Structure 1
Amino acid sequence: MPVPEPGRGDLFSPQCPTRRLLDRIGTKWTSMAVKVLAEASPDEVRFAELQRRMAGVSQKMLSVTLQNMARDGLVGRRVEPTVPPRVHYRLTPLGLSLEGPLAMVRAWAEEHMAEIDLANRRSEEAPAAR
């Protein structure tokens, strides 16, 4: 098995933090947030606008997603000291670098969703293996 370069993760190592990172960046909410923020880049997007653009995301889930993205250095956050506070987000250069790979995954999913749905239906209809 090849040895990873210094400073790079090794997905196949159980202790590698790459696994946790993939869990975070591989969610639909992260992918959607990156897309919305990339489309607005270099401008900022307010929290409420992100929530409107990401149909189905709860305030709590969006908040957790953005906190994780900020902790990972993918988004910058700016708070206006108003009542209530206005919170703005923008992608960092690191976050912008994630848009290309996620766009490819989104495109693949959209292109192959019908095939995946068909496979799922066939699997559900097949007699259970004994």
Structure 2
Amino acid sequence: MRSRHVSRVIHASPDTVYEYASDVDNLPQWAAGLAQAEVVREGDALFVESPMGRVEVRFVESNRFGVLDHDVTLPSGTVVTNPVRVLAHPEGAEVVFTVRQIELDDAAFARDLATVEADLERLDRRLTGHE
């Protein structure tokens, strides 16, 4: 299994980036690779319609360290852990997303990397008003 880190510097404070990105109701507005419609809450569980089908998403608890790790349970039952960090950067914040090649051939892994890159670009545009 391979892993790649995709990052994006956003010209906004780390707190602003974390607050927006950690709000699950904002996912459909920037994370199209995960959420293509509103988040559905069923008890403590969160479900989204994604390019992979209906998936369950579980985020770590809100924290002051900029950690946005989340598990995605795929329709196959496989759980993919996605490490995500919002880090302080001299120009604002840097979001680092680790993409892992789980159940993906090389072409699908490349598409996942491109999707995450596009999602982080969309997050940047949402937070800096460059839409």
TM-score normalized by the length of structure 2: 0.24
Q: Which has the higher contact order (CA 8 A, sep 6+)?
A: 2
TM-score normalized by the length of structure 1: 0.24
More helix by proportion, 1 or 2? Answer: 1
Larger radius of gyration, structure 1 or 2? 1
More strand by proportion, 1 or 2? Answer: 2
